[in-house]
Structure 1
Amino acid sequence: MDDEVEAGAAGLFATVYGGDEDAVVRALRAGAPADGPDADGEGRTALYVASVSDEPGIVRLLLAAGADPDRLSGGTDLPLCGAACGGHTEVVRALLAAGARVDLREEFGFTAMAWALQRGRVEVVRALLDGGADPSLAGPGGLPLVAAARRGSTGCVRALLEHGARGRAEALREALAWCGVDVAAVLQEGLEQPGREAVTQRFAEDGGVTVVVELLDDEGRPTAGNDLQTGHAAIATLLEAELGIALPAADLAGRALRRGDPDDDDWTEAVAVLQRRGDEETFRSAAAWCAGDEALRRAFGADVLGQLGPRGAYAARSLPLLSALARTARDAAGLRSAVVALGHLGDPAALPEILLHAGHRDPRVRRAVALALTGLVPAGHEEGVAALVALAGDPDGDVRNWAAAGLASAPADTAGVRQALVALLDDPVADAAAEAARGLAVRHDPRAVDALARILAVEAPDGYAYETARDAVRHLPDARVRARLERTLPRCR
């Protein structure tokens, strides 16, 4: 490499490391090779550095300037693999769009999919599958479905199943082998060094819990670590359903209650399986759980009944059971599940029991009330409308969001309803603001226009707020305003 080219390459790398897109453009225009190796002699490429640093703008600039998306950095590492390992979905999509071979292997036989599964990167897995990755191509961790089951990532397993991944029986055996295992202990044993302190942390993510174990040096700094997700029970439930294995209802309830979190995949997957089963035995089991002494089991039974309820005869039989639970439950989990389940039944006869809890001290219960009232309050039901208006001013953002959705879809059109929606147009919760704008647009209220224009300009195009605003535009009566808003381009990155 001559001195001029070497200087150009050094300048380019400095700008890439600094994350300065404008400086990258200047370096490329000055003649720096987009695909040249770093001057430090290790052979790293600028594209790989930008990819692992999550710099999608710089990645696109380098690709446009001729960087090869499949060139190995340092002779061992692929940009796509580095981005996948780091969970950098936008970079992954940019590399694939530029022609990166999705199943290409780097050192030790790793593909981008193998890295994404090892780290539990759900959105990256979906991007790779959308880009044509083979869902059954084995990597160092075996078949992708088995690797995802071992990782404990329910989201990765779902994505692979949606794309027809093979190895379901093997993956089920892997998931069952991990059920009930102390993940923290296993991770610590794999890292353990005599005399070294280990710290364990737990984070709620991907519908479950991720356990992280780190070794510390004498000054308390992490020097090594590993992590694993804990969705193995939910994965087993998913795979059993795929394989036609009907676990007894009591066993599914046991899995759901293992962590006792109604938002956890262990819980929601068990409810989903029982809902699809939808038979008399399931109804009787859920009814018995609702009448039992264990608070969390009552909540689980209510969730199951709420999902069974819309199935004809089960609705009429579930209503008195859930109404009684809503009147008598004292724990937040039971109340929340009973209220949401009553909403799922879709019967306005449940309104008295739902409205009992509109002012509950626990925001999770108020959130459940707002959710249950959405689509349930009939025309002329003043108490239901008043409850939604009050919830629209709740200090909890999620409560306001659901109340906004309830008001937007309510048949009532009063000054009070419109004022409650107007008050939400600048809500810091973007979804709540979008629902409020939709509610005003449906009522042909011109105050919706500026809010819709702002949301369409600043919110992410793949987000709920943006999609809600896009849908709301069609309700505006002025054709010129509709045309303008339909052509509003997002200003977000």
Structure 2
Amino acid sequence: MSEEQLYRAALTGDIETVGKLLAGGLDPDSPYEGQEEGGLALCAAASRDRTEAAEALLAGGADVNGREGGGWTALLWAAANGHADVAKVLIEAGAEVDATNDVGDTPLTLAASRGAPGVVQVLLEAGANHEKYDGDGDTPLEVALGWAGVHLESALLDQIEQDGWEYVVARQYAKDGTELITVAGRSADGEQSEQVEAQRGHAAVATLLEDAAGVYTPVEQLVARALAHRDVDEDAETWWIVADSLGKRADDETYEALARLCVSEDAREREFGVDTIAQFGFADGDKPYLDRTLPLLQKMVTTEGSPQVLRSVLAALGHQGDPRALPQVLDILGRPGHKRTSTDPIALADVLPPDDEEGLALLISMTEDDSSEIRDWATAGLAGLTADTPRIREALAARLTDSDLRTVAEATRGLADRGDERAARGAERVLADSDDEYARE
């Protein structure tokens, strides 16, 4: 009975019950025999993304590489269900990143099949072998590419479809921002049911695995992936994974292809071209394409008619980090009807020279904005300036009483870097009142 309680508590994330059972001496690796082939509590927690429960079980001595029937480990369950957070916890605890189950699935092939770029990134960063085949003889990349070209809802329905059953399709966002598709079915009498899930992240996964394998994919093919997912992912995750992949190439052929996108008749192509070319070839502070990119972006400030593309141009000018872009940044920020976002203070701070009073005044005004997000980024930008003047110090000190503790933390950092004793007040407040890890750090 205790094994069942532990298993179900791990499955639901009931930390209190998990803690009590472990404190009472229950072996965290005792299988729950009521589950087919014996269920391990750590595997249950991993399958449902119960990160705190997994941490408690590991702290209580659970074997991170313990196996359920079929050879399933907790990491295999996390990968199969697209749970990056718990996968990271398991890997940090020593999980074998290339472990296989009895049919040869690896964490990477399972995450690739799921279409979960968040898990794939975690696994690749941990050194997972991107060349290891699954039981069908497919690499993770082959698995991802096989799914990338299919209609996901139809493919999932094909897996469980039976005559006379009723089906529903649900769509929501997974934690990594890709769309999560769930197809559920039940028999007419309601006695039987089945459900399958996958994420619409296979194009992003394929891009990550191509980079890992050193596979060169034509620019046009990658652009098509990005454009197809621009409005599908929650925060354009596939778009940015593809942009990052192209940005790392640092070759003239790719640069010219992106430059052509920047003058395309299609606004979405221009937007992607700008977003990608913004950090093209950047490495260790080196910006080999700066003198080609900066004039291109400066010209677009004059010619661009799409507000969305112009927003990307503003961010890209900031990424150049060159004071020569300041007039164009100020031009965009000062236009009638311009809607202020966090991009504004970031871009302005990145190109602001130490002696420009107009730009400094605008940045300080942003530290007083009604939006806490804009105040936070503006204060961070102000704190990071190389200049140290009474005006900057007073503007930072004014944010020590801000209602947003991240903003207080940024102001504290800026004052501390300048040797201002008022930083101690901000540090005391953040440490006393904030549980935000970033702010406390």
TM value normalised by structure 1:
0.77
How much has 1:196 moved relative to structure 2? 3.2
Tell me how far apart the structure 2 counterparts of residues 413 and 83 of structure 1 sit (CA, whole Å): 50
1:153 equivalenced with 2:84 (yes/no):
no
Amino acid of the residue matched to residue 260 of structure 2? Answer: A
Report what 2:374 is aligned to: 399
Deviation at 1:372, TM superposition (A): 1.6
Pick one of 170, 173, 185 that aligns with 2:139: 170
**Paired residues, what number?**
420
Deviation of 1:74 after TM superposition, in Å, equals 4.0
Q: Deviations over 1:353-393 (max 9, x none)?
A: 11223357565x63222222234312121122122122223
Partner of 1:303: 275
Q: Is 1:331 matched with 2:301?
A: no
CA distance in 1, matches of 2:351, 2:243: 23
- For residues 317-366 of structure 1, give each alpha carbon's deviation from its aligned partner in whole angstroms, at most 9, with x where no partner exists: 11110112233323233122211211121110001111223357565x63
Task: Give the secondary structure class of the aligned counterpart of 1:212.
Answer: strand
Partner of 1:55: 14
Residues 1:103 and 2:65 are matched in the alignment: yes
3-state DSSP of counterpart to 1:201: strand
Alpha-carbon distance in 1 for matches of 2:214, 2:240: 18
Pick from 189, 197, 209 the counterpart of residue 227 of structure 1: 197
- Give the AA of the match of 2:292: R
| Preserved CA contact (<8 Å) 1:355 1:387 | no
Change over 3 Å in CA distance of 1:267–1:87 after alignment to 2: same
The match for 1:15 is none
CA distances 1:157-199 after superposition (whole Å, capped 9, x unpaired) = 1111122223536111111111132223333444556473624
Given candidates 28, 32, 35, the residue that maps to 1:69 is 28
SS at match of 1:308: coil
Is 1:466 the counterpart of 2:440? The answer is: yes
Displacement of 1:142: 1.1
Distance (Å, rounded) in 2 between the aligned partners of 1:429 and 1:185: 46
Q: Secondary structure at the match of 2:341?
A: helix
- Asked whether 1:319 is paired with 2:294, we answer yes
Alignment check: 8 A CA contact 1:358 1:391 kept: no
List aligned pairs for 1:109-258, cutoff 5 A: 109-139=71-101, 142-168=105-131, 170-190=139-159, 194=164, 196=166, 198-203=168-173, 205-214=175-184, 225-258=195-228
Structure-2 separation of matches of 1:141 and 1:392: 55
Q: What are the superposed Cα offsets for residues 451-477 of structure 1, whole Å, 9 maximum, x if unpaired?
A: 32232244447x22122xxxxxxxxxx
3-state SS of 2:18 partner: helix
Q: Which residue of 1 aligns with 2:431?
A: 456
- From the superposition, tell whether residues 421 and 210 of structure 1 become closer, same or farther in structure 2 (CA, over 3 Å): farther
C-alpha deviation, 1:63, in angstroms: 2.3
Partner of 1:33: none
Consecutive unaligned residues in structure 2, runs of 5 or more? 132-137
Report SS of the residue matched to 1:366: coil
CA distance in structure 1 between the partners assigned to 2:440 and 2:257 by the alignment: 42
Structure 2 distance, partners of 1:53, 1:424, is 41
Q: Distance in 1 between matches of 2:98 and 2:288?
A: 43
Aligned to 2:216, what secondary structure does the other structure show? coil
Cα distance, 1:433–1:57 mapped onto 2, change above 3 Å: farther
| Structure 2 Cα separation of the partners of residues 400 and 225 of structure 1 | 45
**Is 1:86 matched up with 2:45?**
no
- In the other structure, the counterpart of 1:486 is none
Letter in 2 for 1:290: C
TM-score w.r.t. the length of structure 2 is 0.86
Higher relative contact order (CA 8 A, sep 6+): 2
Bigger mean CA offset, 140-149 vs 424-433: 424-433
Do residues 293 (structure 1) and 283 (structure 2) align?
no
8 A Cα contact 1:405 1:436, kept in partner: yes
* Cα offsets for 1:257-315 (capped at 9, x unmatched): 11225942322222222222101111111111111111121121112221126544410
Q: CA 1:216 to 1:428, structure 2 compared with 1: closer, same or farther past 3 Å? A: farther
Over 3 Å counting, the alpha-carbon distance change for 1:255 and 1:457 in structure 2 is same
User: Which consecutive unaligned segments of at least 5 residues does structure 1 have?
Assistant: 1-36, 468-493
Displacement of 1:444 after TM fit?
Answer: 4.0
Q: Distance in 2 between matches of 1:167 and 1:418?
A: 50
Q: CA deviation at 1:441?
A: 2.8
Q: 1:217 to 1:437 in 2, by over 3 A?
A: farther
